[in-house]
Structure 1
Amino acid sequence: MSAEDAPDSQSVTWRNNREDKCPPDLRLLHFNDVYHIEAGSAEPVGGAARFQIVANHYRLHPRYANQPDLITLFSGDAFNPSLESSVTKGRHMVPILNDLKTDAACVGVSMPPISSVSLKQSHTINSLPPNLIYKSASETANELIPSLRAQGAQIVIALTHAREPSDIKLAEKTHPGLIDLILGGHDHFYSHQVINNIHVLRSGTDFKQLSYIEARQNPNRQSGWDFDIIRRDIVRAIPEDEDTIKLVDKLTSNLKCKLEKPIGYTAVPLDGRFTTVRTRESNLGNFICDLKRHYYSADCALMASGTIRGDQIYPPGVLLLKDVLNCFPFEDPVVVLRVKGRAILAALENSVSLVPALEGRFPQVSNIHFKYDPSMPSGSRILWTKINNEPLDLERDYTMATRGYMGRGKDGYTSLLIKSEGGTAEEVVSEENGILLSMVLRQYFMSLKVLGKWARWSPSLHRHWGHVHNRLHDGGKVKEPADFKHGTKHKRTGTELVHDGEKGKTEVEGKFVDSDTDDEQDEDEDENDKMLASSMASLRSTDDQRCREMHLARVYTRRWMDIVGIERAGVGTVGAQVEWLLPHWTQGIAPRVEGRMLVQSRDEDKH
C-alpha cells in the first residue's frame, strides 16, 4: 500500500486554469500546528507515521523524478502545548520534524517555558528582552520585500503564525505584487482564500492534514504565479511508515520512563478523592488554586473540581511526574478572565447548584471565601461571599485564574463565558497564551528543587518564581529539606550525594551538582532524576502494587458504603497535621484546609 491507496483523502483546494501541462517550477508541502505524534481515534486519525508516508510520496514517487525537489514548510507550533511536551519539553518533536525534511519553519507562539538552550535540543525561549520594538506585519512587508525583489527574488512566500484575520489583513494592506503566497498557522483548521491575488492558506493541525502545492510562473498574471493546491487528509487507510513507527515507539517509551521521574515531595497527605474534592474544600484543591492565582497575580482563582482526576490520597512522600499528569490530564490551559463580581457570584451559585451530588462543577477556590445553604433552591444557595477578605462587590471588576474549559462556559459556568464565545468575560490571558496546569505544576516543583540555578538560566523566571514563593509559602505551606537536626544525614562523596533515611534504611543516590558549576543545568537535572528514579525502582514496583490494592479497596469500600447506607460525602477529610521527614533534594509542600467554603448547618437554621 502507498499514499495513493487512499484516494478519498485527497481533494482539490485550488486549480489554475492553465491549458498547458508543463511541469511545475516549484513544489511545496505545507503543514502547521502539530502536537501529538500518535494517531487519534476519529477520522482523520493523523499520526506522524502516516503523515511521513504522504510526505515521502510527494518527495520520492517516480512521477516527480524529473520535477523540482520538494520544499517542506512548517508554520509553527510543535513543542507545546500537550501532555507529551509537559514531560519532554518538546524534544520528542525534533526528530519527527527532522525526518520530514523541514526546510523552513516559523516560530509558533506556544513554546514551553522550561529552560533556555539551543533550538537543536528544542529548548525554549523563556522571556522577551527589554526594549523590544514591535512593527506591524504589513508595514514590515512593504518595507523589506521590495529589496528582496530588487535582489532577484522571483517568488515571495510569507510563512506566518497568526490568527486568520491577521493573515487576511496582511494580504489586504501589503502593496500589490509583493507577496505571492501566505502560508499560515495558529488556527487549527484547514482554510484557503484569495485576497488581492494573494493565496492565504492554512493546512489543518496535528498531522491530520497537509497541503501539496505546485507553482508555475505566469508572466501574464499580476501575481506572476499560478498555483495548484491539493489538500490531503491523513486517514486510517493510509499505511504507516515503518521507520517512523519505530521512532514513535522509541519516543513514547522514553516518555513512559520520564513519567517515573520524581519531581517533588509532599510533607502531608494530598486529598484528591472525588468524595472530597466534589463535596468540600480540599488541601490539594487549595494548593492548585493558590498556585494558579499567584502564578498570574490574579485577584482570585476558581476551578471546577472535575479538573482533579486522581481520585486518591497522595500519601506523604515523593511525587512522580505521572502523578501530576494522571491527576491533571486535560490539555486546556490556565486562563485569566476579567469579570464582574456578579459573574463570580453566578459562578459560585452554579458550582454548588447540584450539591449533594458528586458533580465536577463543585468548586475549589483561592482568595475566595463563601458560605452556602444546600437546602435552598439552586441559584439561591450562596449566603455571603468575600474576596481578599472583603465583601464581594457585584459591580467591581476582578481578575480570576481558571481553566479554558470554564471560559467556554462548560459545566454550566456560563457567567464566565468569554466575549469571543458570546459571553461577557474579558480574556486577560487567553487559551492561546496560557500554559497547561500540569506545566505550571512542573515549573513550580522545579523551582523548589533548583531555584538557585534559575537565576543564571533566566533572571526573569527566577524573579517570577521568587515572587510566587513569597506569596504562596506563607504560614508554613512549604517545608525545608531535611538536615542533621531533622534526623537525617547527608554524605557527599565526590560527585555523589547519599541520603540515609532512618526508616527502612533506603538509600537514594544521585549526582551532586554544585550551584556554581558551569555544567549544562538541564542535562544535570535529567541525570540526577534518572539516577534517583533508578534507585527508587524497587520501591516503585511495591508502590504500584499498593496503588492497585488501594484502587480495589476504594471500589469495594464504596460498594459497601452504598449497601449499608453511608453517605460518601460523610467520609472524613484528610488532615494536614502529619508531616514526614523531607528528603535532601527538594522542599516539600504542606497545603492545608483553611475554611474557604462553609456550609449552613441544620443547627444554624434552627436558630
Structure 2
Amino acid sequence: MSPSKSKSNLTIEKDSQSVTYASGRDTSTPPDLRILHYNDVYHLDPSSAEPIGGAARFVTLVEEYRSHEKYQGQPELLTFFSGDVFNPSLESSITKGKLLIFPPSSLLLLSACGFVVNLMLTSVVGSHMVPILNAIGTDCSCVGNHDLDFGVRQFRYLANKCKFPWLLANVFDPSLGEGVPIGHAKRTHMITTSNGIKVGLLGLGEREWLETINLLPPNLIYRSASETARELVPQLRAEGADIIVALTHMREPNDNKLAENLGGDIDLILGGHDHFYAHSLINGTHVLRSGSDFKQLSYIEARRRSGPGGGWDVDIVRRDAISAVPEHQETVALIEDLTSKLKQSLEKPVGYTAAPLDARFTTVRLRESNLGNFICDIMRHHHQADCALMAAGTIRGDQVYPPGPIRVKDITDCFPFEDPVVVLRLKGQNLWDALESGVALYPALEGRFPQVSNIKFTFDPSKAPGSRIVSASIGSGPIDMDRKYVLVTRGYMSRGKDGYKSLRIKKEGGDAEEIVSEENGILISMMLRQPT
C-alpha cells in the first residue's frame, strides 16, 4: 500500500477496459478487498502496436484505482507483482556498465558500416527499475527467473532497494542455512489491509526456469509448488489469514496444476512467466496472469460471502495501457531522469528494413520467424559453420518492427543478453537431441523453441517429448547421427541451459568440442557490425 495521495478526477478511455470475470455480486457496493496485479515488465517505453504500454501510461491506470474519487472511502489498493523486471531489457544491459552497439547488416540496408556507439554509465545493472516499482506502489512480489540473471548478490542488492518484500518459498540455498530461500527471499508475507483484512501471501516458482539462469549457487534444493503450498497455507491460516494469495512465476499449466492439487485452499493464484493475459477458475481458485511489459494489468475486487463456508466472490477487470491513456507526468519525468543519458544515442537510425521483422513471443516461441532466420544466418555466416541454432528466448522485442529505419534502441531491445556466440563441434545425434529439447514443451511459449539456420526439421507435437522430431536435415541432406558438424550457438546453450543438455561442452559434463569458446566469442550485436 502506498502513502495516501490526493484524489484524482481523471477520466480514462473505457475502451481500455474489459471484464475478465464477473461473480454476479452487486459491484456498486464497496468491496472488502481491492487488488491490482501485473507481471513480467521489461521496457519502460511504449511499443509501436496497441496496447502500446509504457510505464508512464501504466502508472496512470494504477493511480486511477488508487486515487480517483470513485474509490474514495474504499479499502486501500494492494498491488502485487509476479516477477521478471531486472532483466532483460535495453536499460538493464546498459546500466550494467558498458555497452557497445553496432549497426545491422544483411537484411538491413546500411547507410554506413563500422559505426560504433560507446555508452558509459555508472549505474548498477537493473537499478533503473527499482524507482518504477516503488512509484507503482508495489506491496509484494514473487522472484522471477530473470531477476536472478546477474547473480544472487545483485538481486539481493536491488531487492533491498525496493519498498516491498520479495517471495520465493520453494527454492532453497543450503549455503545460507537450512530452509533459507535463494537470495534470502521470504517464503510468506502477511498484509493487514486498511479495513483489517489479513491477506496471506506465498511465492512459488517452477523447476523448469532454474535451468534458464546462468548464475546460480550450487546445490540448490527445489520443492514442488503444490507440496510447498500444502505446508504454508495452513500456517498462514493459523496466523489469521482471511484470504490466501499465491504469487507465482510459473507457466500457466503449472499454475493450473497447483489449483487442481490444492482443492480450493488458495483463493487467488496471480501468475507470471507467461507473457499473455489469461484467467481460469479451477476448484474455486482464480488463476490469473496479467500480460506483460506494462501493457496490461488486472484490477480485482473481492467481497466476503455470508453464511456457512464463507469464501470470497471475486470480480476481475482487465485494463490495457492503450495510446488513449494519458501518460503520468511525474513518471515521464522519472523515466527521463533514469534514461536521459541514453536517449540521443539510442534513437539514432543505424539501418533499414524493407520487410516487417517479427519478434513477437507468440511467433518466435512457436514457429519460424524471419528475424530468427536473419540472426541465425548472420551467426552461421560469420563463422562459416554448418548450421546455427538459437533459443527463441534470445529475441526479446515482442513486437513486429515495421518497414523503415531501425534504431540502435530496436537492436538492443531485441538482443539484451550478454553471453557471447560460441562455435562447437558435435555429432549429428547431439543436434537431433537439441531439436528434441527445443520442441519438448511445445505449445507452451517457452524460450527454448529453436530458431535455426541451414537446418530444416519437422515435428509432431502429439508425440511424447523426446520423440517429436519426425525429420531433420542440415544443408541438402538428412542429419548423419555419427558425423560431426560445426554449430554456432549462444554460450548460454553450450552450458546446457534451457534444456539443451546435448549441447554441453566437455567442461560442463557434455561431449561438445569448443572451437570458439565464450572467452573468445563475441556478442550478436557485434556480428551485426560486419559489412556484407
* TM category, shorter: 0.5 to 0.7
- 2:376, 2:452 within 8 Å by CA — same for their partners in 1? no
Unaligned runs of 5+ in 1: 261-276, 291-299, 309-322, 336-363, 368-386, 427-436, 442-462, 479-549, 555-572, 574-607
Q: Does 1:55 align with 2:62?
A: yes
The match for 1:34 among 11, 31, 41 is 41
The match for 1:99 among 106, 112, 135 is 135
More helix by share: 1
Give the Cα–Cα distance (whole angstroms) in 2 for the partners of residues 38 and 285 of structure 1.
32
Deviation string, structure 1 residues 48-96 (Cα, Å, up to 9, x no partner)? 1111111011111122121111100001111222233222232221111
Q: Does 1:217 align with 2:304?
A: yes
Deviation string, structure 1 residues 150-191 (Cα, Å, up to 9, x no partner)? 221111111111011111111111144x21111111111111
The AA in structure 1 aligned to 2:278 is: S
Partner of 2:414: 330
Partner of 1:121: 158
Partner of 2:110: none
- 1:301, 1:365 within 8 Å by CA — same for their partners in 2? no
Give the Cα–Cα distance (whole angstroms) in 2 for the partners of residues 133 and 117 of structure 1.
20
Partner of 2:20: 13
Give the Cα–Cα distance (whole angstroms) in 1 for the partners of residues 462 and 128 of structure 2.
33
- 1:34, 1:78 within 8 Å by CA — same for their partners in 2? yes
Q: How many residues align?
A: 356
5 Å matches for 1:320-469? 330-331=414-415, 366-367=423-424, 387-388=425-426, 397=432, 399=434, 407=449, 413-415=455-457, 424=468
- 1:2, 1:53 within 8 Å by CA — same for their partners in 2? no
Deviation string, structure 1 residues 512-567 (Cα, Å, up to 9, x no partner)? xxxxxxxxxxxxxxxxxxxxxxxxxxxxxxxxxxxxxx99xx9xxxxxxxxxxxxx
- 1:76, 1:106 within 8 Å by CA — same for their partners in 2? yes
Q: Does 1:43 align with 2:50?
A: yes
The match for 2:383 among 268, 286, 302 is 286
Unaligned runs of 5+ in 2: 1-7, 96-124, 161-182, 184-212, 348-373, 396-406, 440-445, 471-488, 494-506, 522-528
* Cα distance, 1:410 vs structure 2: 7.1
Going from structure 1 to structure 2, the CA distance change for 1:129 and 1:326 (only over 3 Å counts) comes to same
Partner of 1:195: 282
Going from structure 1 to structure 2, the CA distance change for 1:226 and 1:87 (only over 3 Å counts) comes to same
- 2:390, 2:451 within 8 Å by CA — same for their partners in 1? no
- 1:27, 1:69 within 8 Å by CA — same for their partners in 2? yes
**Secondary structure of the structure 2 residue equivalent to 1:219:** coil
More strand by share: 2
Going from structure 1 to structure 2, the CA distance change for 1:209 and 1:217 (only over 3 Å counts) comes to same
Structure 1 length normalisation: TM-score? 0.49
5 Å matches for 1:481-500? none
5 Å matches for 1:131-210? 131-176=219-264, 178-210=265-297
* Cα distance, 1:15 vs structure 2: 1.8
Give the Cα–Cα distance (whole angstroms) in 2 for the partners of residues 32 and 156 of structure 1.
19
The AA in structure 1 aligned to 2:158 is: Q
**Secondary structure of the structure 2 residue equivalent to 1:199:** strand
Partner of 2:350: none
5 Å matches for 1:289-304? 301-302=388-389
Partner of 2:324: 237
The AA in structure 2 aligned to 1:366 is: V
- 2:302, 2:313 within 8 Å by CA — same for their partners in 1? yes
Partner of 1:246: 333
**Secondary structure of the structure 2 residue equivalent to 1:231:** strand
Higher RCO (C-alpha 8 Å, min separation 6): 2
Q: Does 1:23 align with 2:30?
A: yes
